[in-house]
């Protein structure tokens, strides 16, 4: 039976969300329609994340539970995509025999061909070999920028299990073994393209919202933060051509899109040969009909004055800086290979606030990194109190096999990690609340996204929801017809994660 319906289950970051939109585009180009209920899907894809153990466990649990759906309908096609697929293709087939196909992070254009192979009766079809370039470049002998242990990285001062010199190349062994094992199987496909520009030029992604769209501007990451698995599974950084990005945004606007979020692991190192990130912001800002431009994620080290000046000068570019600090301790930052010190980070915050005093600043923080002492942790709390972030994503450090930090002893006990996380969250939540309460009485313009969910409403009030330029959610009494419009609201109350406002009527046109 030819498949007619599909469902994609997505875990993880905006990049995964964006990849799922591309896969949906490929499936719909084949005539498949989306369904909500996975039991009704002829093709079921799980787009996985392995950045932290919790996300990995959730994805594995979900894949395991799909077995029942396969038993009931053996012709149903089950696929695993994303970072877990890239890292563990063979192991996935062994552990989950009900999986038909495995699709790596750069192999999305091969999805249609892979479906054909499965429909032709082949089993265990895998396409993961999308980043051979990265595998080669990670061998330090060719001069790549994978850290070699001398660049600013120090081992934790205590509890080091392996000496610095023993840091292994995380991927060259694991992935190349995986590739060679797979390539001995008949059903391994070469990706049709590993180049982002061609990946996108042939596929029209299916967006979840008509109003707002994620637009990938780059793949991969060259940063090699010592705790992070992303460069291993997503390969080297590769920017998409600015012209292709602009064409896509113009087409989106013609279909009613009003806000784009430019996505990549390190967007402010974007460079297509002619255009840097600030130049790209300028060009996107100039697209007629577009109201707002967001981007995620930018790296503090790459937030140069051109970037900050562009945000300050360009009216459509939102006044929101998501700048993952990760830690407030300079020695921990050095071991994380972040490329900045606590003072550099505070200097960056100052430079943002000199230009845009009202801009929101949000961050990511990790507690319990190997060797993090009580004093290091206090430095992180101090940073949070000093910067007063609008909000923060906070994480317990997780060992990720294949990363440099996995060579070091995970020496902060889990109970201590949890205590540190709880205190950090408590402090940040209080700051978020205070900052939102301080907005009471202010007039903030929001882009209205549509009706508010019941959970967002307060006392039956607040039918509509929109976001400020600083990415704060405002619930207010509005009309569905406000959707897609910029509306001015007066904030009446601020809670930790939501603002409540009232609509300010537009001035009548002058007679
Ligand atoms: N490229 C982005 C950046 O640099 O912020 C996003 C990377 S990652 C998908 C999102 C966040 O996950 C990171 O900022 C970091 O705080 C967290 N993270 C990554 N690896 C982690 C690990 N091994 N343990 C705990 N948190 C981790
Ligand atoms: Fe991971 Fe660091 Fe790259 Fe972000 S910048 S994806 S944390 S390696």
Residue range 421-436, pLDDT digits in tens: 999 999 999 999 999 9
Q: Atom of ligand 2 at shortest distance to CA of 222? A: 3
CA distance 460 to 454: 8
The answer to whether 448 and 465 have CB atoms below 8 angstroms apart is: yes
Q: Is the pLDDT of residue 157 over 80?
A: no
Q: How far is the CA of 406 from the centre of ligand 1 (A)?
A: 14
- Confidence band of 461 (pLDDT split at 50, 70, 90): low
Q: Quick one: which H or E segment has residue 423?
A: helix 414-437
For residue 13, the ligand closest to its alpha carbon is: 1
- Confidence band of 414 (pLDDT split at 50, 70, 90): very high
Residue 414: Cβ within 10 Å count: 10
Average confidence (pLDDT) over 75-81: 96
326 Cβ inside 6 Å of ligand 2: no
Best substitution site from 366, 368, 412 to test ligand 1's pocket, by max atoms within 8 Å of Cβ? 366
Q: Is the pLDDT of residue 130 over 80?
A: no
pTM of the prediction?
A: 0.85
Q: How far is the CA of 113 from the centre of ligand 2 (A)?
A: 31
9-18, 175-184, 272-281, 495-504 — which is least confidently predicted?
175-184
Q: Pseudo-torsion of CA 205, 483, 363, 271, nearest 10°?
A: 40
56-60, 88-92, 115-119 — which is least confidently predicted?
88-92
What are 133-147's pLDDT values in tens digits?
A: 222 222 223 333 333
228 Cβ inside 6 Å of ligand 2: yes
- Confidence band of 164 (pLDDT split at 50, 70, 90): very low
Average confidence (pLDDT) over 268-273: 95
Average confidence (pLDDT) over 194-205: 54
Q: Is the pLDDT of residue 185 over 60?
A: no
Residues 6+ apart with CB under 8 A from 447: 211, 258, 259, 291, 292, 466, 467, 484, 485, 486
Closest C-alpha residue for ligand 1 atom 11: 364
Average confidence (pLDDT) over 96-103: 95
Q: What confidence score (pLDDT) does residue 191 get?
A: 42
**Residues paired with 63 in a beta bridge:** none
Q: What confidence score (pLDDT) does residue 480 get?
A: 85
Tokens of 151: 């660049």
Q: What confidence score (pLDDT) does residue 268 get?
A: 96
Q: Is the pLDDT of residue 196 over 80?
A: no
Average confidence (pLDDT) over 500-505: 92
Q: How many CA atoms lie within 13 A of 110 on its CB side?
A: 27
Average per-residue pLDDT in the chain? 85
Residue 255: Cβ within 10 Å count: 9
The answer to whether 107 and 79 have CB atoms below 8 angstroms apart is: no
Average confidence (pLDDT) over 242-265: 95
Q: Which has more confidence, 161 or 201?
A: 201
Q: How far is the CA of 171 from the centre of ligand 1 (A)?
A: 18
CA distance 151 to 390: 33
Q: Where are the beta strands (DSSP E) in 335-401?
A: 360-367, 391-396
Q: Give the chain's length.
A: 511
Q: Is the pLDDT of residue 222 over 60?
A: yes
Q: Is the pLDDT of residue 181 over 80?
A: no
Average confidence (pLDDT) over 455-479: 85
Q: What confidence score (pLDDT) does residue 462 get?
A: 64
Q: Is the alpha carbon torsion for 196, 197, 198, 203 positive or negative?
A: positive
Highest mean pLDDT among 18-32, 207-221, 368-382, 473-487: 368-382
Q: Is the pLDDT of residue 291 over 90?
A: yes
Q: What confidence score (pLDDT) does residue 510 get?
A: 67
- Confidence band of 150 (pLDDT split at 50, 70, 90): very low
Please list every protein residue whose CB sits less than 6 Å from any atom of ligand 1. 13, 51-52, 227-228, 230, 265-266, 297, 299, 324, 326, 364, 366, 395, 397-398, 400
337 Cβ inside 6 Å of ligand 2: no
Q: Cβ-count burial of 285 within 10 angstroms (0-12 exposed, 13-18 middle, 19+ buried)?
A: middle
**Residues paired with 366 in a beta bridge:** 395
- Confidence band of 463 (pLDDT split at 50, 70, 90): confident
Percentage of the chain modeled with pLDDT above 70: 83
230 Cβ inside 6 Å of ligand 2: yes
Q: Give the SS3 label for residue 29.
A: helix
Of 413, 367, 357, nearest in space to 393 by CA: 367
Pairing state of beta strands 464-468 and 473-476?
antiparallel
Task: Provide the 8-state DSSP code for 480.
Answer: G
Q: What confidence score (pLDDT) does residue 302 get?
A: 97
CA distance 49 to 83: 6
């Amino acid at each position: 039976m030819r498949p007619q319906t599909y469902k994609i289950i997505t875990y993880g970051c905006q990049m995964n969300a964006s990849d799922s939109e591309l896969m949906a585009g490929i499936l719909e180009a084949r005539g498949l329609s989306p369904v909500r209920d996975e039991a009704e899907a002829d093709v079921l894809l799980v787009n996985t994340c392995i950045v932290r153990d919790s996300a990995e466990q959730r994805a594995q649990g979900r894949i395991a539970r799909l077995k029942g759906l396969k038993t009931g309908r053996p012709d149903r096609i089950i696929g695993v995509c994303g970072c877990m697929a890239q890292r563990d293709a063979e192991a996935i087939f062994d552990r989950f025999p009900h999986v038909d196909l495995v699709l790596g992070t750069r192999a999305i254009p091969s999805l249609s061909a892979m479906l054909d192979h499965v429909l032709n009766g082949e089993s265990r079809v895998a396409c993961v070999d999308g980043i051979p370039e990265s595998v080669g470049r990670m061998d330090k002998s060719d001069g790549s920028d994978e850290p070699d242990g001398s660049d600013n990285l120090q081992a934790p001062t205590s509890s080091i299990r392996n000496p610095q010199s023993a840091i292994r190349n995380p991927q060259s062994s694991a992935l190349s073994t995986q590739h060679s094992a797979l390539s001995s199987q008949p059903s391994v496909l070469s990706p049709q393209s590993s180049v982002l520009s061609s990946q996108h030029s042939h596929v029209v992604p299916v967006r979840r919202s008509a109003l707002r769209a994620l637009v990938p501007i780059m793949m991969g990451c060259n940063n090699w933060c010592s705790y992070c698995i992303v460069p291993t599974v997503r390969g080297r950084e590769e920017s998409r051509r600015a012209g292709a990005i602009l064409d896509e945004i113009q087409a989106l606007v013609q279909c009613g899109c009003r806000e784009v979020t430019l996505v990549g692991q390190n967007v402010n190192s974007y460079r297509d040969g002619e255009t840097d990130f600030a130049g790209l912001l300028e060009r996107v800002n100039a697209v007629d009909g577009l109201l707002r431009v967001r981007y995620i994620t930018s790296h503090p080290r790459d937030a140069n004055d051109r970037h900050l000046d562009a945000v300050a000068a360009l009216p459509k570019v939102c006044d929101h800086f998501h700048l993952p600090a990760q830690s407030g301790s300079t020695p921990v930052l050095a071991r994380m290979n972040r490329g900045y010190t606590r003072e550099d980070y505070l200097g960056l915050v100052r430079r943002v606030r000199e230009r845009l005093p009202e801009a929101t600043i949000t961050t990511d923080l990790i507690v319990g990194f190997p060797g993090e002492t009580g004093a290091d942790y206090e430095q992180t709390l101090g940073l949070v109190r000093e910067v007063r972030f609008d909000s923060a994503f906070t994480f317990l450090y997780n060992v990720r096999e294949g990363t440099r930090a996995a060579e070091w002893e995970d020496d902060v006990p889990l109970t201590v990690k949890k205590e540190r996380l709880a205190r950090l969250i408590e402090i940040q939540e209080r700051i978020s609340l205070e900052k939102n309460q301080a907005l009471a009485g202010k007039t903030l313009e929001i882009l209205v996204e549509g009706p508010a969910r019941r959970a967002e409403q307060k006392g039956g009030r607040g039918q509509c929801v929109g976001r400020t330029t600083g990415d704060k959610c405002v619930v207010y009494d509005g009309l569905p017809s406000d959707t897609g419009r910029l509306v001015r609201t007066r904030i009446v109350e601020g809670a930790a994660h939501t603002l409540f406002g009232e609509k300010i009527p537009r001035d009548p046109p002058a007679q």
